[in-house]
Structure 1
Amino acid sequence: MHTIVRFFQMGGFFMFPILLVLSAGIAISVERWIHLNRVKKENREMWEEVHPVLAQGDFDKARELVYEDNSAIAQMLSMGLARQGAVRRREDIEIAMEESLMEIIPQLEKRTPYLALLSNIATLFGLLGTIMGLITAFTAVASASPAEKAALLAASISEAMNCTAFGLMSAIPLLLIHARLSSTTGEIVGSLEMVSVKALNSISTFSKRAY
């Protein structure tokens, strides 16, 4: 712990902005991770319940199930099933579900892009802290005695590099988390598209039988 505190103190003023950026990134990461995992769980449970009903062609019961649920998959299916009760054209039902999907995707991606931005900001703060530290170091060395210059310069550069190191230590995990959350979001969107196609196929199959 003492080493960490000493490392932070030696980095100078710009260690504090980097710490704030890292804290904001962690807060966003935790919130997004919890939200996306909850969405995955709710979607899986809803699909396991409504899929057998759609496979049987009982669209009235399917409508009741999705209207009573608040999951993303229920929102999308409710739009399609509402059209299914009024029209028989596959294109109209597909457009309705695509419209709902366009509303859902921004909610899934919400705040995730900020992680990449915060990662870049942390890196830049680290570089800025290092540059400012080096400027201060060379200014101090200019007025020091020849015997002290080498030792003073080495110590000042070591302190300045701490800021870059902390910036990179903050940026790298944020980039990795951003990649993981983006991948999870892509999986959810892919599953919604798959459900949309399966629901459309079920509707088309039983509409043809009705004729």
Structure 2
Amino acid sequence: MFEILQSGGWIMLPILLCSILALAISVERLWALIPTKIAPPNQLAEVWQKVKANSINPGYLRELKDSSPLGALLASGLSNSRYGRDIMKDSIEETASHVIHDMERNLNALGTIAAIAPLLGLLGTVVGMIDVFAQIVDLGTGNAGVLAGGISQALITTATGLAVAIPALVMHRYLHRRIDSMVVGLEQESVKLVDALHSERKVAVKASKQK
């Protein structure tokens, strides 16, 4: 393995760095985007029980906000629920934009790696081919083995760049798709709270008018 890296020349160093960064970002995002971390099971039901028990207070809202992305959306909605349904939904949407930004952390870097890794490989191949043609000028074309070896070494960087770029691109697309699916789930859970809360209030208002 070391011999392959060495034969590719100095351009293999940034390609290797790209591979390390891509792996680190992928592992970190996979860990951060575990579904139960984003939207803990039964969290909406627990919040609704608190609402029914009239035990929502600033301390609980801060705790809920820090518990998970779903908790942040629910806390934002509850904090503005007294201003009406539309304001409540607007506050949830505003918080959702921050949540999505946090969920997409480092994905731009991963996409950049997927884009530049093959370019770095191509640059290494071009530099290698320049060296090969320089040898042809100095030594002629009599030694085909030396020329073939130089060309194969030049192509190593392109192959390595593609080997880094392809998994990085696949992971970039996969993580974006995963985030999109999670965001839909978060929105659905938040809308359930909005609908339940304001439906409850409408029933209470009607009951009070009948009295």
| Distance of aligned partners of 1:53 and 1:127 in 2 relative to their CA distance in 1, 3 Å threshold | closer
Task: Give the aligned partner of residue 82 of structure 1.
Answer: 79
* Alpha-carbon separation, structure 2, partners of 1:59 and 1:107: 32
* Alpha-carbon separation, structure 1, partners of 2:111 and 2:142: 46
CA contact (8 A) 1:80 1:93 kept: yes
Match of 1:128 among 123, 127, 134: 123
Q: How does 1:33-182 map to 2 (within 5 A)?
A: 33-37=30-34, 40-45=35-40, 47-51=41-45, 54=48, 58=52, 60-61=54-55, 66-69=61-64, 70=66, 71-84=68-81, 86-87=82-83, 89-148=84-143, 150-182=144-176
How far has the Cα of 1:78 moved from its partner?
Answer: 1.0
- Once superposed, what is the RMSD of the aligned Cα atoms? 2.1
* Alpha-carbon separation, structure 1, partners of 2:80 and 2:157: 58
CA contact (8 A) 1:54 1:62 kept: no
| Distance of aligned partners of 1:151 and 1:140 in 2 relative to their CA distance in 1, 3 Å threshold | same
TM normalised by structure 2 equals 0.87
* Alpha-carbon separation, structure 1, partners of 2:43 and 2:21: 38
* Alpha-carbon separation, structure 1, partners of 2:141 and 2:75: 79
Match of 2:23 among 23, 26, 31: 26
| Aligned-partner SS, 1:127 | helix
How far has the Cα of 1:182 moved from its partner?
Answer: 1.1
Residue segments in structure 1 that go unaligned for 5+ positions in a row: none
Which structure is higher in RCO with an 8 Å CA cutoff and minimum separation 6?
1
CA contact (8 A) 1:130 1:161 kept: yes
Task: Give the aligned partner of residue 17 of structure 1.
Answer: 14
Count of aligned residue pairs for this structure pair = 202
CA contact (8 A) 2:44 2:193 kept: no
Provide, for residues 76-117 of structure 1, a one-character-per-residue CA deviation record: whole Å limited to 9, x for no partner.
111111222x33x21111111111112211111111121110
* Alpha-carbon separation, structure 1, partners of 2:50 and 2:24: 44
Provide, for residues 29-65 of structure 1, a one-character-per-residue CA deviation record: whole Å limited to 9, x for no partner.
122221112xx213432x5033265289617346675
* Alpha-carbon separation, structure 2, partners of 1:59 and 1:133: 72
Task: Give the aligned partner of residue 193 of structure 1.
Answer: 187
TM normalised by structure 1 equals 0.87
